[in-house]
Structure 1
Amino acid sequence: MKSHIFGIGVVLMLSFSLAGMTFTAAGVLRRFELKFGPLLSFAVGTSTLVALVAVLAWSVPPRG
């Protein structure tokens, strides 16, 4: 597989994951009727995505 095709796939996967986590956080925060709900849901989704990528990167064994 060519590296740019793989990179595009990874970027799409991460963007869809961010959209799903933001949508889920927005649904939960909608119950509390917060003033900054959409911004807070994006922050929650982004921080969750960063944590997920960090855990996945940590779990990959080193090469060699």
Structure 2
Amino acid sequence: MVDTYGYFLNLKQLCETRWNSMHGCFASLLRVQSALELLAFKFRGADDFPGAARGFGRCSFWERLKDAE
């Protein structure tokens, strides 16, 4: 990912929070779904691509997220 952006990208883990905050997080992810799917597709073979981000390339992740929202 450094080759594309020139710096490392990190994902923040969710912490204990209220449902409204979690709902807002889900909605935010759904708004950028296409971009995250492209990111997962482009870097799926990269050694430094975080394992947690590989879920962005799975249909089941997005279906469950929509159900939870």
* Structure with greater helix share of residues: 1
When normalised by structure 1's length, the TM-score is 0.28
CA radius of gyration, larger in: 1
When normalised by structure 2's length, the TM-score is 0.27
* RCO higher in structure (CA 8 A, sep ≥6): 2
